[in-house]
Amino acid sequence: MAKVEEIFGTMVFNDFTMKQRLPKETFKAFKKSVSEGKPVARDIANVVANAMKDWAVEKGATHFTHWFQPMTGITAEKHDSFISPLDNGRVIMEFSGKELIKGEPDASSFPSGGLRATFEARGYTAWDPTSYAFIKENTLCIPTVFCSYGGEVLDKKTPLLRSMDVINVQALRILRLFGNNDVTHVTTTVGPEQEYFLVDKELYKKRKDLRFTGRTLFGAKPPKGQELDDHYFGAILPRVTEFMADLDEELWKLGILAKTEHNEVAPAQHELAPIFTNTNMSCDHNQLTMELMKKVADRHGLVCLLHEKPFAEVNGSGKHINWSLATDNGLNLLDPGRTPSENAQFLLFLCAVIKGVDEYQDMLRAVVATAGNDHRLGANEAPPAVISMFIGEELMDILESIEKGTVYKDRVASHMEIGVDTLPLFRRDTTDRNRTSPFAFTGNKFEFRMLGSSQSIAGPNIVLNTIVAEELEQFADVLEGAGDFKETLNGLIRKTISEHKRIIFNGNGYEDAWLEEAARRGLSNYRTTPDAMPHYVDAKNIALFTKHKVFTEVEMRSRCEVHLENYCKVIRIEALTMAEMVRKDIIPAAYTYLKRLSETAVAVKTACPELDCAMEINMLKYLRTLTDSLYVNINRLEGILTEAEECGSAEDAALYYRDKVLPVMGELRSAADEIERFVGEKYWPYPTYGELLYSV
Ligand code: ADP
Ligand code: MG
């Protein structure tokens, strides 16, 4: 492999390349529009487009695409070639500023929650110059936003960019109050840790459930799961090492800061974490990372499973979002700092996060609600469905002594005056207990741990940015009008701690005692998607997002609908896949074995009439009971699925799938898994958990 420094970012049209390839004035003008958030002028765009095309063609690209992130959560692209005909029957490679700036994919089949039906049928894509263009498989990819002609947002990038603007404006107001006049821009920073499974491709192909749904719908527990904890951070197997090295190289070429790769808790489970960057790039990079994980795995005879729960009985996969705020001059606003003023500013930002998470816990919960993630949250392998924050015992003590005006431990001062006294040093809590918290402060950033592994990171980032912006705005409104800044600040911090500390919980989130305590505190506990998702459109949430112009009410309602419909569709596909496997594979396998058993019984009886064949008969009866149960439940399931079509609203349908469809799927599974345990290996129609989990 070439040197990392040499390959890093070679497939990205980044500042370094732009500087080399654009006239100085053009580069300056381009960067100026980007940093001011203004549209790039057409003449500048023309020059940029041409330079981009030359660069891409030199690297072997023949096509370009507007690369966007529709509500499906994955990325979409429509490829156009650069060719333009000449009179003499030949072609030249062309790419104009117009083509760079705007595209019109025929995108009417993307989910829109009815948005395009009521407005304009088509959508358009528009260049996002704040994220670099890149080359992927001979195609120049231009990151874009995706909107309808009526102006409705149809993607995940537009609201993310809007939320970043909103928090920038409000964070700057706060910084000015603390005399930070050098900062001109605040951005949110994110580093997403991505979990995934790798299984052998040949085995994968033999499992319809994995192919159609991304997870196993059947599978008896293997003799060995994750109980020995011998996979976590264990030595990485050669085939996986090769995969990881190849993946790193692909990611580095795309300028993605892939940093750590290790084994996770479950067998066949791994994790990749990049170095953090601004939220927009981080989101683009995470989408690319997921895509490349799948592609690179394929080259290695593997399949990368990004589903939240590919296997029952072992841990599923999530995504941890490390989130903070950074200034353009390099300050991390969630770093407590060392001086009283830095401490005070930190406490105010911390309070904004605490208040925001408490007031909008339901919104944070709703954005991680999917059929896949329902298998993890609250199942003692990922945080519970209750949103809470972990800040560590020591920081908690400090906050409480601030709130009550009491002495913190053995400090001499009567009580701490914010902005005058320095915060006592508190250690970054490294206990493993905080792994059970949905949202943990880890010393200079928060780690949000509820997101599912296959989801876009945009959702929780949009929510975090907007809720914290809202609280910062409220704080700035109070503080800007304050007669005595320090006194008002002290009061504000005390008040916020006292009113919102119920959201802070430093204990073990996996214990039932916490769920009881959370209920006492009035925290919401929405266990499943149909419980959580409707809160997406609670009046206060609509008020928040429309106030900050991140979403319109119509957009929010349509998104809620898209997510609920997706929940139903996912479960429906799973149920249909189960039905097919039961009818076509499992019942036939059970019958073959039954026949074998009956023949054996007859043969034994013939050979030795004095034997009663009790064992064979018992086995036969047991297997018959199980296949009967399969048969009854498959018919029930099919009936229930037909009736599902009569559900009225998306909300009703989601409840129906949860309450009627999922339980029957559970019964089918337990009968099939019992049959799997019972019949001889060579009769079984698909690879077992043991084979899949230890296939690589
Ligand atoms: P760990 O969580 O294992 O202790 P780190 O704290 O070093 O590891 O980092 C985990 C992730 O958090 C990485 O992706 C890292 O880049 C990211 N991260 C670190 N600092 C920040 C920050 N200020 N903002 C956002 N992400 C960060
Ligand atoms: Mg971590």
**pLDDT tens profile 504-531:** 999 999 999 999 999 999 999 999 999 9
Confidence check: pLDDT of 116 > 80? no
Confidence check: pLDDT of 569 > 50? yes
Proximal ligand: closest to the CA of 444: 1
CATH fold for domain 4-154:
Ubiquitin-like (UB roll) (3.10.20)
Residues of the chain with CATH 3.10.20.70: 4-154
CATH fold for domain 567-693:
Four Helix Bundle (Hemerythrin (Met), subunit A) (1.20.120)
- d(CA 602, ligand 2 centre) in Å: 61
At 73, is the pLDDT very low, low, confident or very high (cuts 50, 70, 90)?
A: confident
d(CA 410, CA 435): 30
The 10s digit of each residue's pLDDT in 303-340 is 999 999 999 999 999 999 999 999 999 999 999 998 88
Q: Which amino acid is at 588?
A: P
Q: Is the CB of 685 under 6 A from ligand 1?
A: no
Confidence check: pLDDT of 641 > 60? yes
Q: Is the CB of 256 under 6 A from ligand 1?
A: no
Percent of the chain with pLDDT over 90: 80
Instruction: Give the DSSP per-residue string, 298-321.
Output: HHTTEEEE--S-SSTTS---EEEE
At 435, is the pLDDT very low, low, confident or very high (cuts 50, 70, 90)?
A: confident
pLDDT of residue 523: 97
Please count the CA atoms within 13 angstroms of the CA of 643 that sit on its side-chain side: 11
- Across the chain, mean pLDDT equals 93
Least confident of 378-387, 412-421, 632-641: 412-421
Proximal ligand: closest to the CA of 320: 2
Please indicate, yes or no, whether the overall pTM of this predicted structure exceeds 0.90: yes
d(CA 352, CA 349): 5
Q: Is the CB of 279 under 6 A from ligand 1?
A: no
Atom of ligand 1 nearest to the CA of 275: 16
Proximal ligand: closest to the CA of 276: 1
- Residue 630 near residue 668, CB atoms below 8 Å: yes
The 10s digit of each residue's pLDDT in 36-51 is 888 999 999 999 999 9
Q: Is the CB of 331 under 6 A from ligand 1?
A: no
Q: Is the CB of 695 under 6 A from ligand 1?
A: no
pLDDT of residue 236: 84
At 279, is the pLDDT very low, low, confident or very high (cuts 50, 70, 90)?
A: very high
- d(CA 302, ligand 2 centre) in Å: 26
**SS3 of residue 425 by DSSP:** coil
Backbone angles phi, psi at 638, to 5 degrees: -65, -35
Confidence check: pLDDT of 223 > 60? yes
Confidence check: pLDDT of 448 > 70? yes
The 10s digit of each residue's pLDDT in 152-167 is 888 999 999 999 999 9
* Average confidence (pLDDT) over 441-449: 95
pLDDT of residue 122: 73
pLDDT of residue 677: 94
d(CA 178, CA 480): 11
The widest CA-to-CA distance across the chain, in whole angstroms, is: 104
Residues of the chain with CATH 3.30.590.10: 164-219+228-551
At 117, is the pLDDT very low, low, confident or very high (cuts 50, 70, 90)?
A: low
pLDDT of residue 430: 63
From 195, 277, 445, the mutation candidate for ligand 1 (largest count of ligand atoms within 8 A of CB) is: 445
Q: Is the CB of 390 under 6 A from ligand 1?
A: no
Least confident of 415-424, 448-457, 460-469, 669-678: 415-424
At 119, is the pLDDT very low, low, confident or very high (cuts 50, 70, 90)?
A: very low
Kindly indicate whether the domain formed by 164-219+228-551 is annotated with CATH number 3.40.1710.10.
no
Q: Is the CB of 445 under 6 A from ligand 1?
A: yes
Q: Is the CB of 332 under 6 A from ligand 1?
A: yes
Q: Which helix (H) or strand (E) holds 282?
A: helix 279-299
- Residue 405 near residue 487, CB atoms below 8 Å: no
